[in-house]
Amino acid sequence: LQKGMANMPAVPDSVKQVIEAEAEANGIEAMHKRLAAVDPVSAERIHPNDPQRIKRALELYDFTAKTLTEYWREQAQTENAFPYRRLKIALVPPDRIELRKRIALRFDMMLKQGLIEEVEGLMKRGDLNPQMPSIRAVGYRQVWAYLSGDYSYDEMREKAIIATAQLAKRQMTWLRKEAECNFIDPNTLNTPKLLKNLKFLLS
Protein backbone atom coordinates (compact mmCIF):
# COMPACT_ATOMS: atom_id res chain seq x y z
CA LEU A 1 0.00 0.00 0.00
CA GLN A 2 2.77 2.46 0.91
CA LYS A 3 5.57 1.38 -1.40
CA GLY A 4 3.81 -0.58 -4.10
CA MET A 5 4.06 -4.28 -4.84
CA ALA A 6 7.36 -5.86 -5.76
CA ASN A 7 7.24 -7.23 -9.30
CA MET A 8 7.81 -10.91 -8.52
CA PRO A 9 7.13 -13.71 -11.02
CA ALA A 10 4.71 -16.55 -10.42
CA VAL A 11 6.58 -19.65 -9.25
CA PRO A 12 5.76 -22.91 -11.11
CA ASP A 13 4.08 -25.70 -9.17
CA SER A 14 7.08 -27.95 -9.86
CA VAL A 15 9.34 -25.63 -7.83
CA LYS A 16 6.76 -25.36 -5.05
CA GLN A 17 6.54 -29.14 -4.85
CA VAL A 18 10.32 -29.47 -4.49
CA ILE A 19 10.38 -26.92 -1.66
CA GLU A 20 7.39 -28.58 0.03
CA ALA A 21 9.10 -31.98 -0.13
CA GLU A 22 12.30 -30.49 1.28
CA ALA A 23 10.36 -28.91 4.14
CA GLU A 24 8.63 -32.22 4.88
CA ALA A 25 11.96 -34.06 4.92
CA ASN A 26 14.11 -31.55 6.82
CA GLY A 27 11.67 -29.51 8.90
CA ILE A 28 10.89 -25.81 8.86
CA GLU A 29 13.83 -24.93 11.14
CA ALA A 30 16.27 -26.26 8.54
CA MET A 31 14.43 -24.33 5.83
CA HIS A 32 14.74 -21.12 7.84
CA LYS A 33 18.50 -21.74 8.20
CA ARG A 34 18.76 -22.25 4.43
CA LEU A 35 16.94 -18.97 3.89
CA ALA A 36 19.32 -17.24 6.31
CA ALA A 37 22.27 -18.49 4.26
CA VAL A 38 21.00 -16.96 0.99
CA ASP A 39 18.88 -14.04 2.23
CA PRO A 40 19.76 -13.05 5.82
CA VAL A 41 17.63 -9.90 5.66
CA SER A 42 14.46 -11.84 4.88
CA ALA A 43 15.37 -14.54 7.40
CA GLU A 44 15.65 -11.87 10.09
CA ARG A 45 12.27 -10.45 9.15
CA ILE A 46 10.42 -13.78 8.78
CA HIS A 47 9.72 -15.66 12.00
CA PRO A 48 11.22 -19.19 12.17
CA ASN A 49 7.73 -20.57 12.83
CA ASP A 50 6.19 -19.04 9.70
CA PRO A 51 6.46 -21.91 7.18
CA GLN A 52 4.32 -20.20 4.55
CA ARG A 53 6.58 -17.16 4.14
CA ILE A 54 9.81 -19.15 4.53
CA LYS A 55 8.81 -21.50 1.73
CA ARG A 56 7.62 -18.61 -0.45
CA ALA A 57 11.00 -16.86 -0.11
CA LEU A 58 12.90 -20.05 -0.97
CA GLU A 59 10.61 -20.84 -3.90
CA LEU A 60 11.33 -17.42 -5.35
CA TYR A 61 15.09 -17.80 -4.85
CA ASP A 62 15.27 -21.31 -6.32
CA PHE A 63 13.24 -20.25 -9.36
CA THR A 64 14.83 -16.87 -10.12
CA ALA A 65 18.21 -16.95 -8.32
CA LYS A 66 17.17 -13.60 -6.81
CA THR A 67 16.29 -13.10 -3.18
CA LEU A 68 13.11 -11.60 -1.81
CA THR A 69 15.22 -8.75 -0.43
CA GLU A 70 16.57 -7.97 -3.90
CA TYR A 71 13.04 -7.70 -5.27
CA TRP A 72 12.00 -5.34 -2.48
CA ARG A 73 15.12 -3.20 -2.96
CA GLU A 74 14.31 -2.84 -6.64
CA GLN A 75 10.78 -1.80 -5.73
CA ALA A 76 12.08 0.76 -3.21
CA GLN A 77 13.97 2.52 -6.00
CA THR A 78 10.78 3.11 -7.97
CA GLU A 79 8.31 5.93 -7.40
CA ASN A 80 6.11 5.59 -4.33
CA ALA A 81 2.89 3.85 -5.40
CA PHE A 82 0.72 5.63 -2.81
CA PRO A 83 0.65 9.33 -3.75
CA TYR A 84 -1.47 10.52 -0.81
CA ARG A 85 -0.59 11.79 2.61
CA ARG A 86 -0.42 8.96 5.15
CA LEU A 87 -1.30 9.15 8.82
CA LYS A 88 -0.21 6.05 10.71
CA ILE A 89 -1.79 5.50 14.13
CA ALA A 90 -1.20 2.50 16.39
CA LEU A 91 -2.88 1.57 19.67
CA VAL A 92 0.00 0.22 21.77
CA PRO A 93 -0.55 -0.58 25.47
CA PRO A 94 2.61 0.39 27.38
CA ASP A 95 1.92 -2.06 30.22
CA ARG A 96 2.56 -5.70 29.30
CA ILE A 97 0.72 -7.01 32.36
CA GLU A 98 -2.39 -5.06 31.37
CA LEU A 99 -2.01 -6.30 27.79
CA ARG A 100 -1.90 -9.92 28.94
CA LYS A 101 -5.07 -9.36 31.00
CA ARG A 102 -6.83 -7.98 27.94
CA ILE A 103 -5.62 -10.90 25.83
CA ALA A 104 -6.96 -13.38 28.41
CA LEU A 105 -10.33 -11.59 28.54
CA ARG A 106 -10.51 -11.56 24.74
CA PHE A 107 -9.74 -15.28 24.43
CA ASP A 108 -12.25 -16.16 27.15
CA MET A 109 -14.85 -14.18 25.22
CA MET A 110 -13.95 -16.08 22.04
CA LEU A 111 -14.47 -19.36 23.91
CA LYS A 112 -17.85 -18.18 25.23
CA GLN A 113 -18.90 -17.13 21.75
CA GLY A 114 -18.32 -20.61 20.31
CA LEU A 115 -14.68 -20.95 19.23
CA ILE A 116 -14.54 -24.60 20.32
CA GLU A 117 -17.73 -25.42 18.44
CA GLU A 118 -16.40 -23.61 15.37
CA VAL A 119 -13.16 -25.61 15.35
CA GLU A 120 -15.12 -28.80 16.01
CA GLY A 121 -17.13 -28.08 12.88
CA LEU A 122 -13.93 -27.53 10.89
CA MET A 123 -12.54 -30.87 12.09
CA LYS A 124 -15.69 -32.66 10.94
CA ARG A 125 -15.24 -31.38 7.39
CA GLY A 126 -12.45 -33.87 6.83
CA ASP A 127 -10.46 -31.75 4.37
CA LEU A 128 -8.42 -29.82 6.95
CA ASN A 129 -5.42 -30.77 9.07
CA PRO A 130 -3.36 -29.05 11.81
CA GLN A 131 -0.44 -28.39 9.43
CA MET A 132 -2.46 -26.01 7.26
CA PRO A 133 -1.75 -22.27 7.74
CA SER A 134 -5.41 -21.55 8.50
CA ILE A 135 -5.50 -24.12 11.32
CA ARG A 136 -2.09 -23.07 12.64
CA ALA A 137 -3.50 -19.63 13.41
CA VAL A 138 -3.30 -18.67 17.08
CA GLY A 139 -6.36 -19.92 18.93
CA TYR A 140 -7.44 -22.38 16.26
CA ARG A 141 -4.24 -24.39 16.68
CA GLN A 142 -4.64 -24.74 20.45
CA VAL A 143 -8.36 -25.60 20.29
CA TRP A 144 -7.66 -28.18 17.57
CA ALA A 145 -5.04 -29.80 19.84
CA TYR A 146 -7.53 -29.75 22.74
CA LEU A 147 -10.20 -31.47 20.66
CA SER A 148 -7.59 -34.01 19.50
CA GLY A 149 -6.85 -34.89 23.14
CA ASP A 150 -3.38 -33.34 23.24
CA TYR A 151 -4.27 -30.64 25.81
CA SER A 152 -6.62 -30.33 28.73
CA TYR A 153 -9.04 -27.38 28.63
CA ASP A 154 -6.86 -25.34 31.01
CA GLU A 155 -3.70 -26.15 29.03
CA MET A 156 -5.41 -25.12 25.79
CA ARG A 157 -6.55 -21.82 27.28
CA GLU A 158 -3.13 -20.99 28.76
CA LYS A 159 -1.20 -21.93 25.62
CA ALA A 160 -3.53 -19.84 23.44
CA ILE A 161 -3.11 -16.81 25.73
CA ILE A 162 0.69 -17.21 25.74
CA ALA A 163 0.81 -17.59 21.94
CA THR A 164 -1.37 -14.49 21.52
CA ALA A 165 0.89 -12.50 23.87
CA GLN A 166 3.95 -13.59 21.87
CA LEU A 167 2.25 -12.54 18.65
CA ALA A 168 1.32 -9.17 20.17
CA LYS A 169 4.94 -8.66 21.24
CA ARG A 170 6.16 -9.28 17.69
CA GLN A 171 3.52 -6.92 16.32
CA MET A 172 4.56 -4.15 18.72
CA THR A 173 8.22 -4.65 17.83
CA TRP A 174 7.28 -4.27 14.17
CA LEU A 175 5.17 -1.18 14.85
CA ARG A 176 7.99 0.53 16.75
CA LYS A 177 10.21 0.14 13.69
CA GLU A 178 7.56 1.74 11.48
CA ALA A 179 8.60 5.23 10.42
CA GLU A 180 6.32 8.16 11.26
CA CYS A 181 3.93 6.07 13.33
CA ASN A 182 1.88 7.84 16.01
CA PHE A 183 1.31 5.76 19.13
CA ILE A 184 -1.79 6.08 21.32
CA ASP A 185 -2.20 4.42 24.72
CA PRO A 186 -5.62 2.67 24.64
CA ASN A 187 -5.77 2.73 28.45
CA THR A 188 -6.16 6.51 28.46
CA LEU A 189 -8.29 6.70 25.34
CA ASN A 190 -11.38 8.88 25.33
CA THR A 191 -13.26 10.37 22.40
CA PRO A 192 -12.58 14.11 23.02
CA LYS A 193 -8.87 13.47 23.55
CA LEU A 194 -8.67 11.23 20.48
CA LEU A 195 -10.37 13.85 18.31
CA LYS A 196 -8.02 16.50 19.64
CA ASN A 197 -4.97 14.35 18.86
CA LEU A 198 -6.24 13.52 15.38
CA LYS A 199 -6.91 17.19 14.65
CA PHE A 200 -3.36 18.01 15.72
CA LEU A 201 -1.86 15.24 13.58
CA LEU A 202 -3.89 16.29 10.54
CA SER A 203 -3.03 19.97 10.86
Domain region containing 146:
88-202
Residues 144 and 53 placed together within one structural domain of the fold: no
Query: Is the four-CA dihedral 112, 145, 97, 193 of positive or negative sign?
Result: negative
Residues 150 and 183 placed together within one structural domain of the fold: yes
Provide the β-strand partners of residue 143.
none
* DSSP class of 139: T
The total number of structural domains that make up the chain: 2
pLDDT of 187: 73
In a domain, 139, yes or no: yes
The span from the CA of 1 to the CA of 125, in Å, is: 36
In a domain, 107, yes or no: yes
Residues of the chain below pLDDT 50:
none
pLDDT of 157: 98
pLDDT of 150: 97
Reported as a single tens digit per residue, the pLDDT across 45-58 is: 898 888 999 999 99
pLDDT of 1: 55
pLDDT of 119: 97
Q: What is the pTM of this model?
A: 0.62
In a domain, 4, yes or no: no
Specify the 3-state DSSP secondary structure of 167.
helix
Selection from 20, 33, 31 nearest residue 132 by Cα: 20
| Of 50, 76, 102, the domain-final residue | 76
| Three-state helix/strand/coil letters over 174-192 | HHHHCCCEEEECHHHCCHH
Reported as a single tens digit per residue, the pLDDT across 155-185 is: 999 999 999 999 998 888 888 887 778 787 7
pLDDT of 185: 79
